Amino acid sequence: MDVSRTLLAAMLAGLWLAPAVAATNAAALQTALNEAAPDKHGVRKVLIVRGLDKMTGRATTFLAPIGKPVQFATLTIVARYCHSTPPLETPETTAFLQITDTRPGEQPKQVFSGWMFASAPEINALEHPLYDVWVIACRTNQPGQEQAPVASNAPVKARSPDAGSNERLPELPAGAEQ
Q: Is residue 1 part of a domain?
A: no
Q: Is residue 158 part of a domain?
A: no
Single pTM value for the model: 0.63
Work out the average pLDDT over 31-41.
71
d(CA 56, CA 70): 20
Domain around 67: 26-140
Whole-number percent of the chain with pLDDT over 90: 31
Q: Is residue 122 part of a domain?
A: yes
When divided into structural domains, the chain yields a total of: 1
Q: Is residue 99 part of a domain?
A: yes
d(CA 62, CA 178): 41
- Residue 23 reports pLDDT greater than 50: no
Residues 6+ apart with CB under 8 A from 43: 140, 141, 142
Residue 146, judged by CB atoms within 10 A of its CB (0-12, 13-18, 19+), counts as exposed
105 Rama sector, left if φ>0, alpha if ψ -120 to 50, beta otherwise: left
- Residue 55 reports pLDDT greater than 60: yes
Q: Is the CB of residue 50 less than 8 Å from the CB of residue 59?
A: yes
Q: Is residue 177 part of a domain?
A: no
Pairing of strands 131-140, 75-84: unpaired
> Which of 3-7, 40-44, 154-158, 174-178 comes out lowest in average pLDDT?
3-7
Q: How far is CA 136 from the centre of its chain?
A: 3
Q: Give the residues across from 42 on adjacent strands.
A: none
Q: Ranked by mean pLDDT, which of 54-63, 145-154, 166-175 comes out on top?
A: 54-63
Q: Is the CB of residue 58 less than 8 Å from the CB of residue 90?
A: no
